[in-house]
Structures are given as structure tokens and as C-alpha cells.
Amino acid sequence: MDFIKVGAACPKLKVCDVKYNVEQIISLIDEAHKNETKFLVFPELCTTSYTSADLFTQSTLLEASDDGIKDILKYSKGLDMLIAIGAPLLHNYTLYNCAYIIFEGELLGIVPKSYIPNYTEFYEKRWFTEGHSIKDTYIEFNSQKDIPFGVDLIFKSGDFKFGFEICEDLWTTIPPSSYLALAGANIIGNLSASNELVSKSDYRRSLVQNQSARCLSAYVYASAGVHESTTDLLFSGHMMISENGSILRENSRFQRENEIIYSLIDVFKLNSERMKNVSFRDSIKLLPFTSREINFTLKDLNITTFNRFIDKHPFVPSNLKLREERSMEIFNIQTSALAKRFEHTSSQKAIIGISGGLDSTLALLVIVKTFDMLKIPRKNIVTITMPGFGTTDRTYNNALTLCKELGCDLREINIVDAALQHFKDIGHDKNIHDVTYENVQARERTQILMDIANKEGGLLIGTGDLSELALGWCTYNGDHMSMYSVNCSIPKTLVRYLVKYVAEKESTKEVSNTLLDILDTPVSPELLPKDKNGEIAQKTEDIVGPYELHDFFLYHFIRHGSSKERILFLALEAFKSDYDKETIEKWLDKFLRRFFTQQFKRSALPDGPKVGTISLSPRGDLRMPSDASFNLWIN
């Protein structure tokens, strides 16, 4: 199973009342177990309370804490869950602030806090000793001998590898979790007691996010709550679960009752990122210590209720504000890249074919922004509409209106006669509407555009997008080719939002209305004759499938190397309200077959900028043989 349910818990405590504290801890363990949690992290020193101060030197408190751990061990027998409890440990006359790691009634190991804060409001060194040098050590506890003790412990169950650090450890220059991650730990637990100051929670959150990103790991953070002593400080019970830089769950601080937050961690995704990240692999060679793996077995990893959010549109931010920010950034990348190409070639003219469809519209908007930035007149943008057998009045008029309103040099070249002549030249029956019929038109248009680019001394700007490249939905040496391709790493689902962004934020009323109508027009190459009503007869998504599905497949196939089974599982979760299993399987098979068989087109792509995390450039992100078999992925 790729996913594991984890939790961060904050118990309601009484300072130094170990019996009461352990009762609360056990009640939360019970709740987490009923919720199918497999990994649960509690705050730092939660058996005693973090704020016990000089009472930590009292044998009564330390013995009570040991007894509390024994009670938790006894209660956890038979519980299929790894539990991390914060408690003090007296060993060789030295007191350590530790994480006790418990599974099914057994103490698997004890991890000491590596770094002890002793500045501003913290004076932990008055009681505790740092543990960063403790490695390859064993102790006895509760008549259990040879218990692993040290900062070098990783607890492993199959692909799930757990490492631990405690509060201040995260705030240091090189947190112990960095070493643990390089040693294999993909889920880090932090048992913390971080007090509240104005805006401190923001910094704490950024630490958790950034460390999970640097370590390519999950990070489960549980901090002490409001019932710690308030003699000088206030703790808020801040809890977070992060995965590779993203906060999956976070509680509302300052809660006064027992609380747990849960999330599902995608360990397959984390392991995939590590496998691909060469810098992570190279860092492993510099690892300064050898870890000890403590093996245990989580027995039941089935998840009855899968409640992790799976984004059906992974290329498009769901948050409106973030989407607008990303749209601005994408346009900046596209326009800056295109500007460099114009400056390098000293060209002052752009040539583009305008169909009235989404992709050519986006490419034109990029050219306009680039020319405005370079202070080149828009009249130097040569826009050419080339009506053919399938061109409808709607797309034709939208193309004309858009080019006129944007102030471009608009030209019209009808390709019907040229296509008919070519049919005659090659001996093709014009009534046979096959791939030859379609590709003749696509190549005729590209020939016209290339030759005009030569004639005008300009650059032909390509319009094809990432989704079409993934499916090979383009004509080889037709619309597949250009002198620079500005949309090559932008998927169809994102193209829509970029055009919509310009329509809503940066357009005159006439341009906005045209863009909105283009957005509402069915996606089509318009290479087959119109229907009897003069409407589009050839709808791309009827032939190759919904682009939102293909973009979803593409993201998980390329980004994480997901198998067909995993992609299907995720798609069924993401699109459970939109498509049935049979439909998703049908288009997933179509995607995989086309992705493999159409690689030869991607092997000959023109230059174009990478915008997001996925690109299919043969010079960068995808070095794939054109004749690879798809059998392993389909069968």
C-alpha cells in the first residue's frame, strides 16, 4: 500500500501529574487506533509536562514517568500502531529529554534530543544533556534489555521508515532529521514544546514545510498545549503534518481539550522523488554516520476511508489568488523566454497561425505581451488565419476579431484549393476523410507559415501544448513544427486558465468577450468537414478523451513514475463524481498507448521554455526511446 495514516496528538495535561497525563495519552492512543492510525506522535515530555523545571531532578517525578511509560506499553499490546511518547530518561546519572518509540507493547527504541536550548526563555541545560553524540548504544528499561538508544535510530516497516527529532533539533543549522532522511527515513516525527510569541507560529510552520521539502519526506509535528505551566510562557498545542513542502493538515492552536489531527502520507511519491533527485542521492555519500534500522511489522495497512484530497487538476492551483499569481509568473516565463529568442535572432517580426482555438490564442497573447515589453509595434505580429474544409464561422470570426482588436497584422489565406490540388497530386480521393485528408491540411498550413516567416524575416511561433505532445495529437512536420514553441510545457487544463486570466484581468471588453467565447468553443483541429448546421463535427475530446483525465494521467505518470494501477486508483478517487471506472480505464489505456507510440514526434521538438515541473523536451526532461514497448504498462 502506498499510503499510511499518521497522526499528531496533543493531550490535555496537568503539570507533574503523571497519572492524569498518561490517562489522557492513552485515551488519545485509543482514539487514534479506532481511526486506523498507524503512526502517532505526542509532544515533548508529555508524561511529566515540559514545564516541570527543577522538579525534573525529583526522583518521584522521574519514577512516576517510568511507570507511566510502562502503563502505556501495557495498554499498547496488540495495537498495530507505532507510537512516539515524550518523556525523560535517567541513564548513567544523566538526564535526557527523549522520544520513547512503542509498538505492540514493546519499546523499540529511545531517541534522545540532540540539541538542548539554553538561551532567551529556555534553560533546558539546567536539567538535560544533549544526546547528539549517543550512537550505537543500548540500555535496559522495564526488565527489557538491549533497548536501542541514540540519535541514529530508524524504525522500519516495509517501505515506511520513521525517524525522530525533538523540538530544538529542527531549529538547528543541520537538523538530525536531515541525516535520518539521507539514511532512509521518509517519515519524520517531531515531539515538541514550542512556546508562543507573536508571529512565531509562522516561522515554525515554515521550518516544518522547508524541512519536509529538503528531506523529501513527511513531517509530523506535535507540540505541547495550553495546559503547560503559564508561569512565564504559553504553549499552544500547534500540530502540523507536512509532505515534501506542503502542509497537509494543521490544527487551530490554543485548543483546551484532547486533540488529534490526521492525514494520509503518500510514501510512494516521496520515494519516487528521492529516486529522481540526483542531489539527494549524492548527499547520501556524505552521510557522517551509520544508522541502525529497527525492524517491526505494521500488519494491516488497509484504509477503510480514503480521505486524502487528490487534485483532479494537478497542474492548476485550486486557490484563486494563487492561480492568479501563477498565471502572472507563467506569462513572465513565456514572454521572457520569447524575448530572449527575438533579441538573439535580431528579428522584429513574429508569424503565427490563428485558428480561433485555445492554443493559438494563448500563443498570440504571449507574443503580444512580449512585443509590448520589447517595445516592438504589434503590427509586426503577422497573424494568419487559414480556413479549410472544417473551419466554422464561430472560430473564423473569433480569430478575426481577436487579431483586429489586438492590433496585429491580419492576413487570410484559404487552403482549400491548395489542399485539393495536393490531393490530386498524390492521388487521394477528397471524399475519403482519413488521416491523409487531415494531415494534408495541417502540413499545408505549416508550409505557408514557414515560408511567410522566411519572406518576412520573422520567427514562426508554435502553438501546440503539453497535452497534445503527450498524446501525439499533432501532425508530424505539420503543426508539430515551428521556430519556437511557447506553449510546449503548458497542459490543456492550464491553457484554459491562462486565457481566462487575461480575459478577466487584462483585456478590453471586446477582447474579453472574444476570449470567453473561445474558451466556450469545443476543442477541435477542424480538419474534417462541418456538420449540416455548420458547427464543429470533429471534437478532439470525443476522439482521444477528456483532457482533464489525460493531464491527470500525464502528471502522475511522469512526475512520480506511477504504475497504471496506481494512476487508476488515484483517478477513481479524484474523479469519483465525474467518471465511472470503465470510462477512466478506457482513456487511461488510450493515454498509455499513445504516449509510447507517439514519442518519435517529441524526439524532434523545437525549442521552448519549461514552465512547470513537467516537460517532455528530448533535450531535458524526457530521454525516451521512440520504439519502447508499452506492453508492461498496459497488461
Q: How far apart are CA 450 and CA 606, in angstroms?
A: 13
CB 108 within 8 A of CB 102: yes
Q: How far is CA 46 from CA 11, 86, 108, 194, 347, in A?
A: 8, 5, 19, 13, 69
Q: How far apart are CA 374 and CA 339, in angstroms?
A: 7
Do the annotations mark residue 601 as ligand-binding?
yes
> Which of the residues 16, 167, 408, 488 is marked catalytic?
167
> Which of the residues 12, 38, 113, 269 is marked catalytic?
113
CB 43 within 8 A of CB 223: yes
Do the annotations mark residue 354 as ligand-binding?
yes
Q: Which residues contact residue 161 at a Cβ distance below 8 angstroms, ignoring those fewer than 6 apart?
A: 154, 155, 184, 185, 186, 187, 293
Do the annotations mark residue 476 as ligand-binding?
yes
Q: Which residues contact residue 135 at a Cβ distance below 8 angstroms, ignoring those fewer than 6 apart?
A: 150, 151, 152, 289
Do the annotations mark residue 473 as ligand-binding?
yes
Q: How far apart are CA 384 and CA 448, in angstroms?
A: 9
CB 370 within 8 A of CB 340: no
Residue with cell string 491562462: 498
Residue with cell string 515533548: 44
Residue with cell string 509595434: 377
Do the annotations mark residue 468 as ligand-binding?
yes
Do the annotations mark residue 355 as ligand-binding?
yes
Cell digits of residue 315: 497542474
Do the annotations mark residue 358 as ligand-binding?
yes
Cell digits of residue 352: 503565427
What type of residue sits at position 84?
A
Do the annotations mark residue 439 as ligand-binding?
yes
Q: Within 13 A of 7's CA, how many CA atoms are on the CB side?
A: 25
Q: How far apart are CA 509 and CA 384, in angstroms?
A: 23
Do the annotations mark residue 357 as ligand-binding?
yes
Do the annotations mark residue 200 as ligand-binding?
yes
With b meaning 16 or more CB within 10 Å and e meaning fewer, what string describes 461-484? bbbbbbbbbbbbbbbeebbbbbbb
- 44 assigned to active site: yes
What ranges make up the beta strands (E) of 133-183? Answer: 137-141, 144-149, 153-157, 160-166
- 167 assigned to active site: yes
CA 92 to chain centre: 47
Cell digits of residue 387: 480556413
Do the annotations mark residue 474 as ligand-binding?
yes
Do strands 137-141 and 82-91 pair parallel, antiparallel, or not at all (unpaired)? unpaired
CB 333 within 8 A of CB 442: no
> Which of the residues 5, 12, 44, 312 is marked catalytic?
44
CB 228 within 8 A of CB 196: no
Do the annotations mark residue 475 as ligand-binding?
yes
CB 470 within 8 A of CB 487: no
Q: How far is CA 142 from CA 92, 102, 151, 194, 240, in A?
A: 16, 13, 21, 30, 32
- 10 assigned to active site: no
Q: How far apart are CA 190 and CA 6, in angstroms?
A: 13
Q: How far apart are the first and last CA of the chain?
A: 20
Do the annotations mark residue 194 as ligand-binding?
yes
- Binding site, annotated residues for deamido-NAD(+): 439, 468, 473-476, 601
- Binding site, annotated residues for ATP: 353-360, 463
- Binding site, annotated residues: 119, 194, 200, 353-360, 439, 463, 468, 473-476, 601
Catalytic (active-site) positions: 44, 113, 167
